[in-house]
A and B are shown apart, each in its own frame.
Chain A
Amino acid sequence: MSAEPATAAVHMTGIWKRFGAVQALADVGLTADPGEIHALVGENGAGKTTLVRILAGLERADAGSVDVNGRRLGPHHSPKEAAEAGVGLVQQHCQVVPGLAVLENLILGHEPTRLGLIHRRQALASTRAIADRLGYSFDWYAPAETLGLGQRQRLEIVRLLWRRCSVLVLDEPTTVLTAAEVANLFEVLRSLAAEGRTVILITHKLDEVREVADHVTVLRHGRTVGRIPRQRLDLDELARLMVGELESPPVRQPAALGEVRLRLRGVTTPAGEPGTQALRGIDLEVRAGEIVGIAGVEGNGQAELCEVVVGLRRPASGTVEINGRSVDGLGTRARRALGLAFVPADRMEEGVNPLGSLWENVAAPQIVAGRGTRLGILDRQRLREQARAVLAGAGVKGDLDLPTRSLSGGNVQRLVVGRELQQPSVVVAAHPTRGVDVRGAAFVHRRLLDLRRAGSAILVISADLDELSQLADRVLVLHRGGIVGGYAPEDADPARIGLLMSGVVPEARP
């Protein structure tokens, strides 16, 4: 390993990065050689994306060094410097400019010209040569917005090669691809590596690692926990490294299961919408007094599942029942009136109105339902009193009239949880403790467990497996819009869960 700095295509050492209260990266290193495909794996929030954003100059490290092709690049380099050093990043959702042709999108910013006009023939010839070599074909003059996500990714790869990139970084490229597209992508990555380029591939999917990676770097909670060459690759060990040791679930009373409060039957959403994962025949039941966890890598349908239950997205087929009654024709307001509560993942966008006052944010469900209003006029005194009580119960301090954006993220979540988790019949909570401090998380968990005891039916979606172990009576694993398996927290096997989440459906084990 000691000879590497001289020859490595990418050599990052001692990288530290902090976002506010969160230490995203702590003394992380990444070394990749020319001609290799280097997989960077880890759970959500492990720091993978932050690390490559630092490499690409999109983020500045607090400390550490970055060398590319033997030259010191930074830790504080600009995106332009990174590009000039040959680093190119393919983001997960490649953006295109709609209304511009595919070719125009590709050459934007570096247009070849002749006689003051764009030299389209030359641009086409040079880019097509690259595309042909990779086995890609495009309708070069079609509007770029007609490209699917897979095509956009290919376009981006061609663009980077056209810009003479020697280090290609792909951030979870396969989550948006079909199986055939994935196979094709890997073939291309292999040929690029064979040309002597370096490919850094971020992924959650261990079967992909097994398939293409020459080296694997594993991150967990912002630290490097392993660097494994291909020949020593063992998927079970890799899964364990990624997931870590799961905390054993707390001893608690077994669930006193009641009737089914939330039921999804064969829920499917249309495929092909950019930026969303279609749900594929979700069947799900949550009973009174039960917490069901949904585990999985983000972007596998969690957001869509929430939206379908809450009434923000209409399924193409299948039904949703709340308290035994079909709610397919009902909007969000009517579903909430049936006792549905929702703790959304994006709390600043969906959980609160940051411009609204604290009391109005707490009173929003009452206002929507027309409670605490007389003839359409708000009973401010009553609503404010209620809000004061809710905020006190949630441990949020602050003037009732302050705008909600003045709260810290943790307090916003306390507000949301305090508001939503009063006496709901059914709860959908998405990533309820993400980015929340330890005491805040404990408060949220306590609330959820209290509601379980009180007989609510609770669906918790989380990328944090420890959290699910703490809370859930049973956990289902979501992958590519379908439920691919499940487990009980008592006999959770990190390796098996890691494989399930990675899309490797493990053969039945004893």
Chain B
Amino acid sequence: MIWPAAESSSPALVGLGRRALRALGPLAITLAVGAGVLGLSGRNPLTIYALYLVQAVGGWSRLASTLAAATPLVLTGVGTSIGFRAGFFNVGLEGAVYVGALATAWAGTVWGQLPAPVLPALALLLGAAAGTAWLVVPALLRSLLAIDEVVTTLMLNYVGIALTTYLVLYHFLYKTIGNAQTPPIATSAQLAPLVPGTSLTAAAGLAFAILIGYGLFLRRTRLGAEVRTVGDNPRFAAAMGFSARRAAILTMLVGGALGGLAGGIVVLGVTYNFTAGFSTAPGYGYSGVAVAVLGRGSWVGLGLAALFFGALASAGGVIQLFGNVPIALTQILQGTLMIFAGIRLVQLRRRRRHPATGGETDSGGDGSWR
């Protein structure tokens, strides 16, 4: 269990309130750390935070920017959270974001003669497929050989970043520019901004639809029930005949697909090409991990956490212009929020995944690997 055991099925409103309270802990600590940094550097935290607020939600175009920034984070948050829900710690969406983005950029360029509604759809599908494929190996290793998915997915992220850089530089380089980036995608592949001057596109609608779909999937479908049961109580799931293996493969691949989709959306709606290392710190995938932890599994929580992260990112991008504070303040806040995202005031041990396999629980080095 990644979250404290308390939630999942308490009556909607009470549970929501409790979860909101839990998420406020990390937020409060983050704001306090930020205030400390600001205070020590002679800035008034209240002024700066007010500025953040204005830049995040003050006016339609700022709101649109926040929504646009939240869009990929909704997807990576959902993609990570669905793995958490089944008890799998899939942190491999960062890699999926990269391969998905590159695949989408490739399709958006090479299939340029296709008409507007078809091309973006196909390009995004290809991106999602690439992201899915990227996580096939960790999913199989997890379900067939019980190899810890935390390590494999984390390691493959770095492979994915290096691999896409290599592919761009040596096979798909836009040579007229000195940077490691692909040629711009066809105009017909671009997602048009809904609010001029922002990157808010129809993709936001798609992302939030997927968020609601995630909630419905978990609550209303057979597979969703399987995923939740396996995650909540693996031994009960086994005794009932739910398949932990299917839940592992399904959730990790869906995570990969959503990561790929997130990368593709950034390419089609924001950057219009693939640039090596485009998912800058904290990275869309890693932010998704934080969103998933903060959101505590519920679709409402995920949405709010993604919006908060999106607000930080979109306001942080312009804060330097107005507030006389370095843009890196945003990274400080994002980093602090990630560090404290999972805290709980009542300690609960993460349930061992395979309690029946023997006496020792070995979480250390020699005996077994994480």
Establish whether residues B366 and A98, one from each chain, have CB atoms under 8 Å apart when the complex forms: yes
Encoded as 1 (CB less than 8 Å from any B CB) or 0, chain A from 284 to 320 comes to 0000000000000000000000000011100000000
- Please tell me if B32 contacts chain A, counting CB pairs below 8 Å: no
A93-B359 contact in complex given A377-B220, A377-B221, C-beta closer than 8 Å: yes
- Candidates B222, B232, B360; contact of A355 at CB < 8 Å: B232
Taking CB atoms, residues of chain B closer than 8 Å to A346 are 235
B242 within 8 A of A: yes
A332-B241, A355-B5 as given contacts; A349 in contact with B236, CB under 8 Å: yes
CB-CB under 8 A for A356 and B358, given A98-B367, A312-B238, A351-B236: no
Report which residue of B228, B238, B241, B362 has the largest number of chain A beta carbons within 10 angstroms of its beta carbon. Answer: B241
A344 interface neighbour in B11, B228, B239, Cβ under 8 Å:
B239
Q: Are A403 and B8 in contact (CB under 8 A)?
A: yes
Q: Mark B337-366, 1 if CB is under 8 A from A, else 0.
A: 000000000000000000100111010111
Q: CA–CA, A143 to B7, complex, Å?
A: 40
Beta-carbon contact of A353 and B229 below 8 Å: yes
A329 at interface by CB-CB < 8 Å: no
The answer to whether B223 has its CB under 8 Å from any CB of chain A is yes
Q: Which of B236, B243, B362 has a CB less than 8 Å from the CB of A353?
A: B236
Considering the chains assembled together, what is the distance between the CA atoms of A335 and B241 in angstroms? 9
Q: A401-B9, A402-B11 are in contact. Are A376 and B240 (CB under 8 A)?
A: no
Also in contact, A355 and B9, with CB within 8 A (given A98-B362, A367-B225, A377-B222): yes
Give the size of the chain B interface in residues (CB under 8 angstroms). Answer: 35
Q: How far is the CA of A125 from the CA of B238 in the complex (A)?
A: 49
- Which A391-405 residues sit within 8 Å CB-CB of chain B? 399, 401-403
CA distance A356 to B240 in the complex (A): 14
Tell me whether A99 and B364 are in contact (CB under 8 A). yes
Nearest A residue to B238, CB-CB: A312
A99 to B358, CA, bound (A): 15
Residues of A within 8 A of B222 (CB): 367, 370, 373, 376-378
A356-B9 contact given A98-B367, A99-B367, A349-B233, CB 8 Å threshold: yes
Tell me whether A99 and B8 are in contact in the complex, defined as CB-CB below 8 angstroms, given that A367-B225, A378-B221 are known contacts.
no
Option from A143, A310, A355 in Cβ contact (under 8 Å) with B239:
A310
Task: Note all chain A residues with C-beta closer than 8 A to B236.
Answer: 349-353
A275 in the interface, Cβ–Cβ < 8 Å? yes
Would you list which residues of chain B between 279 and 297 have a CB under 8 Å from chain A? none
B324 at the interface (CB under 8 A from A): no
* Interface majority SS (helix, strand, loop, mixed), chain B: loop
Q: How far is the CB of B315 from chain A (nearest CB, A)?
A: 37
On chain A, the number of residues with a Cβ less than 8 Å from chain B's Cβ atoms is 47
Whole-angstrom distance between the Cβ of B169 and the nearest chain A Cβ: 43
Query: Smallest CB–CB gap between A35 and chain B, Å?
Result: 33
User: Cβ of B366 and Cβ of A143 under 8 Å apart?
Assistant: yes
Q: How far is the CB of B348 from chain A (nearest CB, A)?
A: 12
Known contacts A331-B241, A349-B236, A352-B236; A357/B9 CB under 8 A: yes
In the assembled complex, A254 has its CB within 8 A of some CB on chain B: no
B41 contact set on A, CB distance < 8 A = none
CB distance from A142 to the nearest CB of B (A): 12
- In whole angstroms, what is the CA distance A310 to B190 when docked? 55
Q: B10 on the interface (CB 8 Å rule)?
A: yes
Q: Residue A342 at the B interface, CB < 8 A? A: yes
Nearest B residue to A331 via CB reads B241
Beta-carbon nearest neighbor of A273 in chain B: B358
Residues on B with C-beta less than 8 A from A275 are 358-359
Q: Is A97 a contact partner of B238 (Cβ separation < 8 A)? A: no
Contacts of A376 in B (CB 8 A): 221-223
User: Which residues in B have their C-beta under 8 angstroms from that of A332?
Assistant: 238-241
Given A96-B360, A356-B228, A370-B222, is A342 in contact with B8 using a C-beta cutoff of 8 Å? Answer: no
CB proximity of B268 to chain A, nearest CB, Å: 30
- A378 & B366 in contact (Cβ 8 Å cutoff): no
Q: How far is the CA of A331 from the CA of B243 in the complex (A)?
A: 9
Q: Are B238 and A360 in contact (CB under 8 A)?
A: no
Judged by a CB distance under 8 angstroms, whether A364 is at the interface is yes
Partner-A contacts on B (CB < 8 A)? 5, 7-11, 220-223, 225-226, 228-229, 232-233, 235-243, 355, 358-360, 362, 364-368
Counting from the closest, the 4 A-B pairs by CB-CB distance are: A333-B241, A99-B366, A332-B241, A98-B367
Question: Can you give 12 A-B contacts (C-beta < 8 A)?
Answer: A98-B360, A273-B358, A275-B359, A332-B238, A333-B241, A333-B242, A336-B241, A354-B232, A360-B225, A364-B229, A367-B226, A368-B226
